[in-house]
Structure 1
Amino acid sequence: MIYARNGEDALSKRIDIVSPGTGNKHWGTTYFGPRSSNKEAPGPQATMSELQANESVVPHFHGVSMFQLFIAGYGTIGNQGKELKPLTVQFKDHHTAYGPIVAGPQGLCFVALRMYTGNSEPVYLSEPGYRDRLKPSKRRNLTSPQVHFSIEPVMQHRAEVAWETLLQGDDGMHAQVVRLGAGMKVQGPEPKAAGGYYVFVGNGDIVHGGEVLPKWSMVVVENSEAGFEIQAGDKGLEALVLQYPRDEA
């Protein structure tokens, strides 16, 4: 199937949540599926978290591989304090620990994107017995260079489609930026080549099913689909195309 969610509509349903790891109160938005799950269900799972100023997310792992996009604010990740500037792409295999994530004084916003709904409950390294819940994994925890977006006239008047690779693996995992001028179209990756993919609107808007989807909207293309055409709206489009490993199909 192909799923789509308007970012403005999703954000209109933002709620207050409490971090299960720290007890801190911040904000959460659900795009697809439940916010957290402990069993498999049909369809993708995508959530946004908006952290308070200087809030920390303690080290943990999940049972489902995911891309994570740091899209607003500022922060750091890991014991070395690697900077998270918008927009940064991260890929983490299932059962791969990461953190801490520390928000800066202006807060930090990130989106977790999973191709399917599975065991996404966080397992904290501070919990006794966490090692018993680990399973074999490639243990990749990859972070991209910062993605820079165009000003609107440059994006709108782009004459050619441009693709840029951010992260890539030997199992079909591939994170790219695609840039299109106003009204331009391009074929997305072959869905059956790997585990399907997300198209996340980082700048401009995308047209899907007769609807114009604005910034921070997303489309999910499962690997059962024959193909997907990416179409820019009148402003042009700069989107993240996030392809999942073959074993995530």
Structure 2
Amino acid sequence: MVITGSAQHGQSTRRKLKLDDGFEYFKSEWLESGQDPRLSPTMFLIEQGPHSTLRAHFHLQNEFQLVVQGDGKFGSHSVQAITVHYAGAYTGYGPIIAGAEGLSYFTIRSVFEQGAVMMPEGRGLMVRGPKRQLHSQPFPPASAAALAQRKDTEWVDIFSPQPDHVAATRLLLPPDGTIIAPSNTGSSGQYIIPVAGSLWHDGREVTRWDPIFVSADEPPLPLLAGAGGADVLCLRLAIQAPEYAAAV
């Protein structure tokens, strides 16, 4: 499976939601592919208002979160654009606290999931198994001028490949530059997301924040930068741990 999402779809699905505890936020679906329990890649944007707090919680699926605007905290970790966060299934994290300008971040999964299990009332639903989080240092996207002047490609490991095949890689491509994306082998799939510049894929230009999902059974994707170069994140997700697969 190779499937793409778009800002256009995100804008068309943006709506305001409210949790039972009164927490309000905007949600936009950038990539939807159904609800298959084995493979249903999903990427959506959450927009928290200034000084708002989403309580600590956990999810049933592995996920990345990509902070793209504003600043705040994920638990004790300060975040701002751009920060990469990984949370394994059944791993509690948070609260997510927005700063004075609000906080916007994508949630990125290879399997669809609805909602979250809030803590502490959801503690009884926690399942024993591996717990893990990964946090990057914030970094700015490459400027248009820097990409235009780039002569060579650069490969930066944000999260070096983990034993369960989780990885986050940054690729910097010059104008019209090419590179083969990291392997998907052993994972539950990989997202390829331009954070600056653009890529050409399947006859169309994929621009900032538009995701390409590549499942693990596909070969590594050849990447072609647009005329302005590209700053690209490759986010590779783990397969669900066996302790959790039976519980979902």
Post-superposition shift, 1:177? 0.7
- Counterpart of 1:97 in structure 2 is 92
Q: Is the 8 A contact 2:68 2:81 kept in 1?
A: yes
Q: Is the 8 A contact 1:62 1:120 kept in 2?
A: no
- CA distance 1:63–1:44, shift in 2 (3 Å): same
* 2:147 alignment partner, SS class: helix
RMSD after superposition: 2.1
* 1:121 alignment partner, SS class: coil
Alignment of 1:129-140 (within 5 A): 130-140=122-132
Post-superposition shift, 1:226? 2.2
- Per the normalisation by structure 2, the TM-score is 0.90
Q: Is the 8 A contact 2:10 2:29 kept in 1?
A: yes
* 2:141 alignment partner, SS class: coil
In structure 2, distance between residues paired with 1:66 and 1:172 = 13
Q: Is the 8 A contact 2:31 2:211 kept in 1?
A: no
User: Within the alignment, does 1:110 sit opposite 2:88 as a pair?
Assistant: no
- Counterpart of 1:17 in structure 2 is 17
Q: Is the 8 A contact 1:33 1:44 kept in 2?
A: yes
User: Within the alignment, does 1:68 sit opposite 2:80 as a pair?
Assistant: no
In structure 1, distance between residues paired with 2:134 and 2:117 = 19
User: Within the alignment, does 1:219 sit opposite 2:216 as a pair?
Assistant: no
User: Within the alignment, does 1:200 sit opposite 2:189 as a pair?
Assistant: no
In structure 2, distance between residues paired with 1:34 and 1:61 = 22
User: Within the alignment, does 1:143 sit opposite 2:142 as a pair?
Assistant: no
Q: 2:117 is matched by which residue type in structure 1?
A: V
* 2:185 alignment partner, SS class: helix
In structure 1, distance between residues paired with 2:88 and 2:168 = 14
In structure 1, distance between residues paired with 2:187 and 2:120 = 34
Q: Which whole-Å deviations, capped at 9, do the CAs of 1:62-114 have from their partners, x for residues lacking one?
A: 00000100110111121x3x211110000100000000111011110000000
Q: Is the 8 A contact 2:62 2:240 kept in 1?
A: no
Post-superposition shift, 1:136? 3.2
The runs of at least 4 consecutive aligned structure 1 residues that moved more than 3 Å come to: 246-249
Q: Which whole-Å deviations, capped at 9, do the CAs of 1:152-200 have from their partners, x for residues lacking one?
A: 0211231111111111322211111111011111111222243320011
Q: Which whole-Å deviations, capped at 9, do the CAs of 1:181-237 have from their partners, x for residues lacking one?
A: 111111112222433200111111121111112111110000111231122111211
Q: Would you say how many aligned residue pairs link Structure 1 and Structure 2?
A: 241
Q: Is the 8 A contact 1:63 1:120 kept in 2?
A: no
Q: Is the 8 A contact 2:70 2:103 kept in 1?
A: yes
- Per the normalisation by structure 1, the TM-score is 0.89
Instruction: Pick from 148, 156, 162 the counterpart of residue 156 of structure 1.
Output: 148
Q: Is the 8 A contact 2:10 2:44 kept in 1?
A: no
Post-superposition shift, 1:126? 2.9
Post-superposition shift, 1:21? 5.4
- CA distance 1:21–1:63, shift in 2 (3 Å): farther
* 2:13 alignment partner, SS class: coil
Aligned-residue identity in percent: 22
Q: Is the 8 A contact 1:161 1:181 kept in 2?
A: yes
